[in-house]
Amino acid sequence: MRRFLYENGLGLFFGAIFLATVIGQAFVGHADFNHLQAADQNAPVSLGRYVTSSDFAADVLENWQSEYLQFSLYIFGTVWLLQRGSPESKKPGEAGPGSDEDQQLGPHAHERSPAWAGVGGFRQWTYSNSLIIVMTSIWIASWTGQAIAGRVAYNAEQIDNREAPLNLLSYVGSSDFWDRTLQNWQSEFLAVGSMAVLAIYLRQRGSPESKPVGAAHDVTGEEG
Amino acid sequence: MSPRRLSALLACALIALALGGCGRGADERTVGSVTERFLQAVEAKDGAVACAQLTSAAVQQLESEESKPCPQAVTSVQASPGPVRRTAVYITSAKVDLTNGESAFLNRTSAGWKLSAVGCKPQAGKPADQPYDCDLEA
């Protein structure tokens, strides 16, 4: 058990703090929602009703979609784009998908390689891109969910303001949808871009996201 | 709880996340009925029944505007009776459109769905950008 915790600490830690924070968000979001309900002379809703409401879903999904977009772009971008001096980047001259030998594909696969790395064709292509396929699919699903749930939450406000509700297509073209979307995107892009650049000059001893503390600033693609 | 019931609840929760709540069909029927009951009561001069369909804020607004108790004041509300054409429910807010072109707005209060605005007509321009012009509005 202790060994399992030690070997899986990263996934378990972030899984645990995800659950803690999403539960926390449910409780404070519920309190905030009912505060606004009281102001509008609407009945308070139960916690169960709140966590299955579009109000909660839109708040959750607008953040999920931007995180999955960020990592999808980062995974794809780091295949082709370089950043001199950054541990997040491959070395100059290594841009691109790499050779079959480097990637341990086909005849270069070994006995412990995943099965689809050793076969050719569609299965090998799919497995070679499986990380970005899944991350992008989650991004598209959560962004779609944001649009569907965000429209319902927006229309509730529209009706409280005695204004006409929007259909899904109109909502996707609305300033509310793009405001929710872009305010999340800009923060994600800033964070990931600044990490790639700051890691040229700054270090965190022991972290694979950093170069070794003593590494030169112009050394690229070296992790500490 | 049986696995089948648990699965149904989970499926309902997931669909609810996307669509805005289980049991929305029942809410749509209720908001239509509340609106029709109000309009029929106004037409029949049954002030008590009509007032019972309004939010407390709408009752206060009406009494303040007309300087009379709601059951007497409500019969002067200009809201044309007509069959319900469409209902739209979003969380605890709803809009009911009538075939005569008028709309009503409702909120789910502690006492159930109640009308917060009646006799509403869209103003010139895009209806989504401008509030409806209502004969009674809380």
Residue B128, pLDDT > 90, answer: no
Q: Which residues of A touch B17 (CB under 8 A)?
A: 52, 54, 56-57, 145, 149
pLDDT value at position B13? 55
Query: Using CB atoms within 10 A of its CB, is residue A89 exposed (0-12), middle (13-18) or buried (19+)?
Result: buried
pLDDT per position as a tens digit, A123-167: 999 999 999 999 999 999 999 999 999 999 999 999 999 999 999
Nearest to B109 among A42, A49, A165 (CB): A42
Single-letter amino acid code for the residue at B101:
G
Cα separations in angstroms, B126 against A82, A173, B78, B132: 48, 15, 23, 10
- CA nearest to A141 within chain B: B18
Å between B7 CA and nearest CA of chain A: 15
Nearest to A156 among B19, B90, B138 (CB): B90
Contact B93 A163 (CB under 8 A): no
Mean per-residue pLDDT, A20-30: 98
Residue B100 structure tokens: 């005569």
Residue B20 structure tokens: 């805005």
Judged by average pLDDT, the poorest of A165-169, A204-208, B126-130 is B126-130
Q: Which residues of A touch B22 (CB under 8 A)?
A: 52
Contact A149 B107 (CB under 8 A): no
Helix runs in A40-167, H state only: 47-51, 54-80, 115-118, 121-128, 130-160
pLDDT value at position A30? 98
Mean per-residue pLDDT, A168-190: 97
Better pLDDT: A157 or A39: A157
Write out the E strands in B34-92.
84-90
pLDDT value at position B26? 92
- CA nearest to A165 within chain B: B128
The mean of the pLDDT values for chain B is 86
Cβ–Cβ under 8 Å, residues B19 and A57: no
Single-letter amino acid code for the residue at B87:
T
Share of chain B above pLDDT 90, in %: 70
The mean of the pLDDT values for chain A is 95
Residue A216 Ramachandran class (φ > 0 left, ψ -120 to 50 alpha, else beta)? beta
Q: How far is Cα A167 from Cα A165, in angstroms, rounded to an integer?
A: 7
Contact B92 A43 (CB under 8 A): yes
Residue B15, pLDDT > 60, answer: no
pTM: 0.88
pLDDT per position as a tens digit, A46-82: 999 999 999 999 999 999 999 999 999 999 999 999 9
CB pairs under 8 A between A and B: 99
Q: What is the DSSP letter of B85?
A: E
C-alpha A161, offset from chain centre: 34
Q: Which residues of B touch A42 (CB under 8 A)?
A: 92-93, 107-109
* Run of H or E including A199: helix A175-201
pLDDT value at position A178? 98
C-alpha A177, offset from chain centre: 18
Q: How far is Cα A74 from Cα A131, in angstroms, rounded to an integer?
A: 11
Cβ–Cβ under 8 Å, residues A197 and A83: yes
Residue B21, pLDDT > 80, answer: no
Q: pLDDT band for position B20 (50/70/90)?
A: very low
Better pLDDT: B124 or A16: A16
DSSP three-state, residue B115: strand
Q: How far is Cα A210 from Cα A189, in angstroms, rounded to an integer?
A: 19
- CA nearest to A147 within chain B: B18
Q: Which residues of B touch A158 (CB under 8 A)?
A: 90, 128
Cα separations in angstroms, A55 against A45, A58, A96, A164: 12, 5, 42, 18
Residue B12, pLDDT > 90, answer: no
pLDDT per position as a tens digit, A76-106: 999 999 999 999 999 999 999 999 999 999 9
Contact B19 A148 (CB under 8 A): yes
Which of B3-7, B94-98, B126-130 has maximum average pLDDT?
Answer: B94-98
- CA nearest to B130 within chain A: A163
Q: Which residues of B touch A54 (CB under 8 A)?
A: 17, 19-21, 90-91
Q: Which of B73, B78, B76, B66 minimizes the C-alpha distance to B121?
A: B78
What are the b/e assignments for A150-178, b being 16+ CB within 10 Å?
bbbbbbbbbbbebbbbbeeeebbebebbe
pLDDT value at position A53? 96
Contact A163 B127 (CB under 8 A): yes
The residue written with tokens 């709540």 in the block is B21
- CA nearest to B97 within chain A: A164
pLDDT value at position A223? 76
pLDDT per position as a tens digit, B39-74: 999 999 999 999 999 999 999 999 999 999 999 999
* Run of H or E including A2: helix A2-7
Share of chain A above pLDDT 70, in %: 100
Q: pLDDT band for position B6 (50/70/90)?
A: low
Taking each helix axis as running N to C, give the angle between helix A121-128 and helix A130-160, from 0 to 180 degrees, rounded to the nearest 10. Answer: 60
pLDDT value at position A221? 84
Strand order in the sheet with B103-109: B84-90, B93-98, B103-109, B112-121, B133-137
